[in-house]
Amino acid sequence: MPAWSDLASDVLEHITSFLALTDQHRFSAVCHNWRSIAKRKRHPPAPQLPWLVLGEDQKTKKLNFFNLSEQRLYSIDIPELYGHHIVSSSYGWLFTIDERVNGYLLNPFTRERFELPPFPSFFDDMTMTLNADEAVIESNGKCFTLTFQELQTTIVSKAILSHDPKENPDFTVIIMFGEVARPAIWRPCDTGWAIIDCPYPLSDVIWFEGKLYIYSFDVMFAVDVVGSNPKATKISTLVSGIFVPFWLYLVDFKGKLLLVERFGERLCRKSFVVSRVNLKEGALDGLDSVDNLALFVGNSSPLVVDPSGFPGCIPNGIYFTGVYSSLNRADDFGVYHVVEKTVKPFCPVNDVVSPREIKLVWFTPNLS
């Protein structure tokens, strides 16, 4: 009987196609032969639940991740992200801001990176000057200062991608920037950010069926991103109810556009309302379930997962994280069951709560 290390290469490569990222790493540690097979990367890691980015360890500078499938913490040394604030994730790329308020797109596992242009000013009549240790901001004849850490954690509230940059080099970065969450876009062919003219503050943005949609004050806008002056066109008014949600999210749900509204701040009082958006009629159709799938919402691009292949993942569950760069409380993340209308933590509280200001960011590793 041959030893495990002597198994045929095609058999070992086939085995790797069933392994998630962490299991592929363990596979490579078995012996020299298996490691050489793993390095070929003939198969991408098997599908897995999203990870949660927890921010940088203050002592080691390593980036902390929580693997939801394994219910386990991982600390990964990524020097390119030392001192960075993690804003969002999309297609396995992290949108980050360094200590001098420079923006980047980075794939933490392939280390590929895009340097983004300087961010636009919060308002049209505002100027911002970066000194050695602070930012000086002038607006309407008034002047005030912000530390770089304050600016680093507030200048951009969310960022998403239109496509995976590895699959489509003609991708678009969409950000919600400033305290009023104004929209702007950037493409690799651009020299700077193009601000989208529309009412703000924004509630959310999404790239859906090849178009950019913006939701603000119950109004849905479609944006023509071609050219240097993107324009937002009102397409419908959506009135969901008499109560104002604490936050809301736009979700691409198997080719259908959903509006997910979050009510209540504390865990015991949180509830969600899910509606299908009818763009043509400007109507919201309430849903009693999400077809036994699971939604992951927060500051990143929303994710839809089939829980059937992942033990412990809750069907009809909405996995949510906090929406601000503020002190993460034990009641600012969890999973809401759409059918049973119950809410609970999705992991041990002590694994996630941080003593400093960070964002909890959903992230799907991408090794393509």
pLDDT tens per residue across span 91-113: 999 999 998 899 999 999 889 99
Note the pLDDT tens digit of each residue in 326-345.
444 545 788 999 999 998 88
The average pLDDT across 136-146 equals: 80
Q: At 123, is the pLDDT very low, low, confident or very high (cuts 50, 70, 90)?
A: low
Note the pLDDT tens digit of each residue in 263-286.
876 655 678 999 999 988 888 999
Question: What does the pLDDT read at residue 265?
Answer: 65
* Phi-psi region at 114: left, alpha or beta (left = phi > 0; alpha = psi -120 to 50): beta
User: Is residue 64's pLDDT more than 80?
Assistant: yes
Among residues 97, 232, 99, 215, which one has the least CA distance to residue 157?
97
Question: What does the pLDDT read at residue 23?
Answer: 72
* Residue 121 CB-half CA count within 13 A: 13
Question: What does the pLDDT read at residue 358?
Answer: 62
* Interatomic CA distance for residues 311 and 20, integer angstroms: 14
Could you tell me what percent of the chain has a pLDDT over 90?
40
Note the pLDDT tens digit of each residue in 224-265.
887 778 888 898 887 666 667 778 999 999 999 999 999 876
The average pLDDT across 298-302 equals: 91
Among residues 155, 137, 156, 138, which one has the least CA distance to residue 146?
137
* Interatomic CA distance for residues 216 and 229, integer angstroms: 20
* Interatomic CA distance for residues 81 and 54, integer angstroms: 13
Note the pLDDT tens digit of each residue in 188-232.
999 999 989 887 788 899 999 999 999 987 889 999 887 778 888
Q: Model-level pTM?
A: 0.86
User: Is residue 309's pLDDT more than 50?
Assistant: yes
If one compares 355 and 367, the residue with the highest pLDDT of the two is 367
Over its C-alpha atoms, the chain yields an Rg (Å, rounded) of 21
